[in-house]
Structure 1
Amino acid sequence: MNPYAPLFQPGKIGSVRIENRIVMPAMASQLAEPDGRLSQRLIDYYRVRAEGGVGLIITSYASVSADAPLMFNMGISDDSWVDDWRRLIEALHACGTRVGIQLMHVGMLYLFAGFVPKGATMKIPSPVPWVKGDIPTHVLTGEDIERYIEDFAQGARRAREAGADLVEIHACHGSLAGMFMSPLLNRRTDEYGGSVENRARFPRRIIERIRETLGADFPIIVRINASDDLEMGTTPPEAAEQARLLAAAGADAVSVSRGIEFWATTTIPSYLYPDGPMLPLVDEIKKAVPVPVIAAGKLTPELAADAVRTGRTDFVALGRPLLADPDLPRKLREGRAGGIRRCIYCMNCLNQDRRAGRGSCSVNPFLNRESFYPLPPISRPKRVMVVGGGLAGMQTALLLAQRGHLVSLFEREGRLGGQWNIAAAIPEKSGYSAFTDYLERELGRMGVEIHLGTPVSKETVIAQKPDAVVLATGAVPAGLDVPGADGPNVVQAVDVIMGKARPEGRTVIIGGRFTAIETAILLAERGVPVSLITRGSLGMTLERVTLRTLIGKLLNLRVPLYLNTAVLAIDPRHLVIRFNEEVFELPAETVVLAVGMNPNVGLAGELDGLGLEIYTVGDCTRPRNAAAAAFQAAQIAAKI
């Protein structure tokens, strides 16, 4: 029996039958035009996931109010939006999926939006000192509340006219409805504040007004926080009572989330969290309501299937897993779980410039570039030699083989993976190995010749007689240009992570990015007295939620941090450092370098003059992250 069969039983939300239990939840794709109008990129983004077999797609962040637009997100604040929504919904219905539109008023989420329209004001239930920024605030009057309730009702009407199967009310994370629900953000003293019942009154009245407008047969989902995960915020017992009140008001399903955007690190759980961290909260909501529940939050296919099978939830929202592999539902249904390109929860999809639709994925080079997927087959196969079996080389080799080329992959070490193996050696990142395992399986399935333990020289290339060569020779750890940096007490962070170097005594790590931070945590957890020095700020290139989680770990471990500090020299027993204009010594028996990588470009020069097509990919071009390497691999595979 297929272990994922529970996910493929039909379900119902209100009057609507849904063919399976897998939901693509609302996520901020930001692929619409700057004014929010429908773009082909947005259609393609949803279409490939509909084709992959997802049961229900809920589109994101449709602003119901003209005074609270979200740039690069479709709105639904007047009737002019209906035609755009109809075009999108018809495209998705043609693939057999159900479609819901998430209705939202942005509330305090303007604080974290990439772009805020000129002249916008942030609408809030009540003034609280921790909700402030550069955007002027406006505390809602009773008249404002009535107007926004009607805006939601009219947004639902437009959604139905456009052909949507249902709507979802965004009432979590700091949206306007979510702010009303939270005692941290709602300090009103009228009928909309104070008690749990009063704080739920705004979303309750939205649901009731939609029912008055559209009748009983049009399904309404409400998405709520099962916990704000912040002091003075909504607690799980309060959330369960709110869910009960909203179901009694007419909600046909409750979608469970958690956390206030930006402040809490739990809303979108990263690799630092265990799988399924929201399920215990879902259990409490499930007990409180007589309607279906939708669970979310770092659910693996195995955990999702078990949660449905055991009745912990009725539907599962698989957001990032569907970004990583749009075909995930079909592969599970067909018993091809090993062929799934699994999300590794690295958070890179949150770390890019999503404002103009340039978000990217470490494992899926086609995220937000769906019109290029899949790459077309070639009519004249070439013999292509890929040199380097790290992530970039493996991705390139696989994409070339999928197009029909005859591909051989050469790796000097005894295993594939390259720098990715170093990342996967961090205990919290052990799940990263799932991606290299997937690539290795797919390379074998596609018939790629793999040569391990095989250094490549100019003579090796000549002997292979390739038509094209792709160099994916990676990068090597950078040194530090200061006196003493080549001393015996200086080691590289990658060697520490892989267990090749074991720091002893007082240890100082030099660097401020991922590798430096994670190495500091690794050593501190082992009991090594460790400090961290960086020339600038800490983690400037890191996604903000993960960065805050990591900084929290550093602080809890009491790791001294020296920011905006220059290293002038390294001696056997100390470092000479400068902060502002003051120079002083910092004791250190071991110094760990995590100051970046330098491209390994030696072979490229040797191959000049051979008359071959030669390409470089990944870190040997320029050290960057996995998502950049994945997209570059796709670009090169498309050229050959």
Structure 2
Amino acid sequence: MNNTKFEKLLEPGYIGKVRTRNRMIKTANGTSFIETSGYVGDRALAYYENMAKGGVGLIIVESCGVEYPLGVQHPPVQFHLDDDKYIPSYSELTKVIHAQGCPAFIQFQHAGPWNPTGLLPKRDTKAASTLTREELPGPAFDVPRGMSLAEVREYVDIWAKAAERAAKAGFDGVEINGATCHQINTFFSRIWNKREDEYGLQTLENRARFMCDIVREVKRRLGKDYPVLCLINVAEYRHEKGTTLEEGVQFARFLAEAGADAIQCRAHSYHHRDGLIQPEKMFYPEPPETLPKDLDWSRRGKGAMVPLVEAVKKVVSVPVFCAGRLDPVIGEDYLRQGKLDFVGMTRRLLADPELPSKVIAGKLEDIRSCTACLHCIDVRNKNQLLECQVNASLGREREFVIQPAGRKKKVMVIGGGPSGMEAARVAALRGHQVSLFEKTTRLGGLVPMAAIVKDVEVDDLLGLVRYFRTQIVKEGVTVRLGKEAGPMEIAEFKPDVLILAAGALHNTLDIPGANRRNVLSSARLHRQLMFFMKFFGPKTLQSLTRVWMPIGKRVAIIGGAIHGCEVAEFLVKRGREVTIVHADKTLAAGIPVEDQLRLFPWFDKKGVVRYTEAKYEEITDKGLVITTREGEKKTLEADTFVVTLPYLPNTGIAKDLEGKAPEVYNIGSSAEPGLIVNAILDGARLGLKI
């Protein structure tokens, strides 16, 4: 198809002599899909095969250690090609990618002092120089010792040997990761480098020498035509000794002169463990007083790194690109302006590996929306298998194969939330006759309301609902809005399969005074929002809440898991004084740790008082009486008390409708309250089963 709208995005490109299918690059990300033995197994093969099948121009296989276990931050679930014995299994990986017509690079890295999860055991951590605990630029690092000159040269050999193995395994090129706070970056950055030899901080050439030596040695061993891509921090922020833009541009020039065939640009911000890898998160919960300079914040993080690419392109003749919340539309615009040579993507391709094929076909409405929720990052940083909130098949490619149903069935879905819509979508794809009944006038379940509360992610969440609505209509699902389905409707419909996706039940606060007028239960809050949503969309309603809400100035939130903390954030932004009281030990269950690391300091700054392991006693004229974890009785004064206790399973509906169809299934939060990721996974699995 001649797609002129994405003419630049879809044209082939070159990194060295390797031709990419288009200008979209799947940038490297960890998956935890490697076998604990260190070999590439079926899960990783299926994942990368499916990614290649989706039409992306080039795949960069995830961060692979050049040394093990010292060189990785996620043992034993991180790729590492530190021994020749692994070459045959990596060869199988390149074969499945190449079979789809896609070139494959592999990213090599060495963790150095970086310990973002805090899970690493004590080990011989090495960096450019020795630093004390007090000198470390944040909490996500281990104390390193400085490498001797002999060790520096030994590591050049270690990196080059890894590249040799990659070539033997059939990779078309390698990416050398010298960014973030990995080993190589400790030579670039004055924060880490205190050396006085030829790799020291006296000159920019010295600071770049380690990575340049690696590039030159790889080229010497594999030939000048074997592509080497370099990933570096072009700028560092929130530290007085961080790499400046001017320095980073010169580092890129030195690397190109050493033989690098392309440069991927990144920036890093210290004092947060993932820095600027997800630039849109700089706006969560609110943007800081000053955003890192040099970057483009006009799209709230999308394309933030592009100015770095522009600066580097002025001094090198090789391709330069970046990632960072880019999408096909923005990417095409930057390509046409000559600001990018390629468009790097990760999370959008995790959400929908077929994104490139859908762009080629001109079917943008079929692209599954990435919600920027960071669930993928959260599970990865816990050394768990990579998972996507909206794409249930990610990492389960062999399990989630859409095949025609053996017998076409009449399927009735009750509930238009994520689990119901996904079950309807998958069942319809398999050829079943599907009807979905939603008692309200909108699809999405609680997602539109979540979009109101989550200021930063409103567009992404609404995009997910829009995607589901489009897909189920395209697949012939009959959607009946404003229609509550009970026993009479079921008897009239006569389904072969009845899917109950009606959502969870609201929990109640069972203490004296819980029925007072100034106590806002989650059920009452839900009813109020649903009433106003009859007249206003989520975006409009979100704006109106900044003008007026029927909630007092001082608010006590009872329940501090994900719902309580998100409501607290929402209310603080609307000028309320908030206190959170939680019965459990840990706040914010269900919120990714990356977001918690930003949210809690923001709570501190805004004066949000938090009590954990508290017992709710009663609500009186004076306030909420609690017993603190220290055993002290305390009365918390407030004008409004908002109850955000955990939801309860809707087991009653399953009992009431048992036997109303040959097959009856209760799924999603109706069966077990959880997050969007759980609901969609539940719906997908059932859609494949029936």
TM-score, scaled to structure 2: 0.87
Identity of aligned residues (%): 33
Corresponding residue number in structure 1 for 2:494: 465
* CA pair 301-134 structure 1, distance change in 2 beyond 3 A: closer
Corresponding residue number in structure 1 for 2:595: 546
1:448 aligns with 2:477: yes
Distance 1:237 1:566 in 2: 56
Corresponding residue number in structure 1 for 2:77: 72
* CA pair 269-423 structure 1, distance change in 2 beyond 3 A: farther
1:194 aligns with 2:201: yes
Cα shift readout 1:298-318 (whole Å, capped 9, x = no counterpart): 112211111111111101111
Question: Does the 8 Å contact 1:376/1:403 carry over to 2?
Answer: yes
Question: Which amino acid is the alignment partner of residue 546 of structure 1?
Answer: D
Alignment of 1:147-546 (within 5 A): 147-195=154-202, 196-232=204-240, 233-259=242-268, 262-269=272-279, 272=284, 273-352=300-379, 358-425=385-452, 426-431=454-459, 432-492=461-521, 495=526, 502-535=550-583, 536-546=585-595
Corresponding residue number in structure 1 for 2:662: 612
Aligned residues: 638
* CA pair 479-198 structure 1, distance change in 2 beyond 3 A: farther
TM-superposed CA distance for 1:161, in Å, is: 1.8
Alignment of 1:25-40 (within 5 A): 25-40=27-42
Distance 1:255 1:469 in 2: 51
Question: Which amino acid is the alignment partner of residue 366 of structure 2?
Answer: G
Distance 1:34 1:99 in 2: 23
Alignment of 1:556-635 (within 5 A): 556-579=605-628, 580-610=630-660, 612-635=662-685
Question: Does the 8 Å contact 2:335/2:342 carry over to 1?
Answer: yes
Question: Does the 8 Å contact 1:22/1:54 carry over to 2?
Answer: yes
Cα shift readout 1:380-399 (whole Å, capped 9, x = no counterpart): 10001100011110011000
Question: Does the 8 Å contact 2:301/2:324 carry over to 1?
Answer: no
Corresponding residue number in structure 2 for 1:96: 101
Cα shift readout 1:47-92 (whole Å, capped 9, x = no counterpart): 1110111111011122222452542233222222221221111111
TM-superposed CA distance for 1:264, in Å, is: 4.5
Question: Does the 8 Å contact 2:8/2:332 carry over to 1?
Answer: yes
Question: Which segment drifts farther, 558-567 or 26-35?
Answer: 558-567
Q: Secondary structure at the match of 2:114?
A: helix
Question: Which amino acid is the alignment partner of residue 473 of structure 2?
Answer: G
Question: Which amino acid is the alignment partner of residue 511 of structure 1?
Answer: G
* CA pair 162-103 structure 1, distance change in 2 beyond 3 A: same
Q: Secondary structure at the match of 1:226?
A: strand
- Paired residue for 1:87, among 84, 92, 107? 92
* CA pair 67-327 structure 1, distance change in 2 beyond 3 A: closer
Corresponding residue number in structure 2 for 1:47: 49
Q: Secondary structure at the match of 1:317?
A: strand
Question: Does the 8 Å contact 2:422/2:687 carry over to 1?
Answer: no
TM-score, scaled to structure 1: 0.94
Distance 2:579 2:275 in 1: 25
Question: Which segment drifts farther, 12-21 or 486-495?
Answer: 486-495
Distance 1:511 1:519 in 2: 10
TM-superposed CA distance for 1:461, in Å, is: 1.0
TM-superposed CA distance for 1:550, in Å, is: 2.1
Distance 2:273 2:14 in 1: 34
* CA pair 286-476 structure 1, distance change in 2 beyond 3 A: farther
For structure 2, which runs of at least 5 residues remain unmatched after alignment?
285-299, 533-548
Distance 2:633 2:559 in 1: 19
Question: Which segment drifts farther, 38-47 or 627-636?
Answer: 627-636
Q: Secondary structure at the match of 2:356?
A: helix
Question: Does the 8 Å contact 2:117/2:382 carry over to 1?
Answer: no
Question: Does the 8 Å contact 2:520/2:641 carry over to 1?
Answer: yes
Cα shift readout 1:448-505 (whole Å, capped 9, x = no counterpart): 0111111121121111100010100101332223222222111146548779662122
- Paired residue for 1:121, among 120, 124, 131? 124
Question: Which amino acid is the alignment partner of residue 84 of structure 1?
Answer: S
Distance 1:403 1:472 in 2: 19
Distance 1:62 1:625 in 2: 31
TM-superposed CA distance for 1:110, in Å, is: 4.2
Question: Which amino acid is the alignment partner of residue 346 of structure 1?
Answer: C
Corresponding residue number in structure 1 for 2:153: 146
Distance 1:125 1:46 in 2: 34
Question: Which amino acid is the alignment partner of residue 111 of structure 2?
Answer: V
Distance 1:518 1:145 in 2: 48
Question: Does the 8 Å contact 1:85/1:162 carry over to 2?
Answer: yes
Question: Does the 8 Å contact 1:30/1:354 carry over to 2?
Answer: no
TM-superposed CA distance for 1:202, in Å, is: 1.5
Question: Which amino acid is the alignment partner of residue 125 of structure 1?
Answer: A
Question: Which segment drifts farther, 204-213 or 397-406?
Answer: 204-213
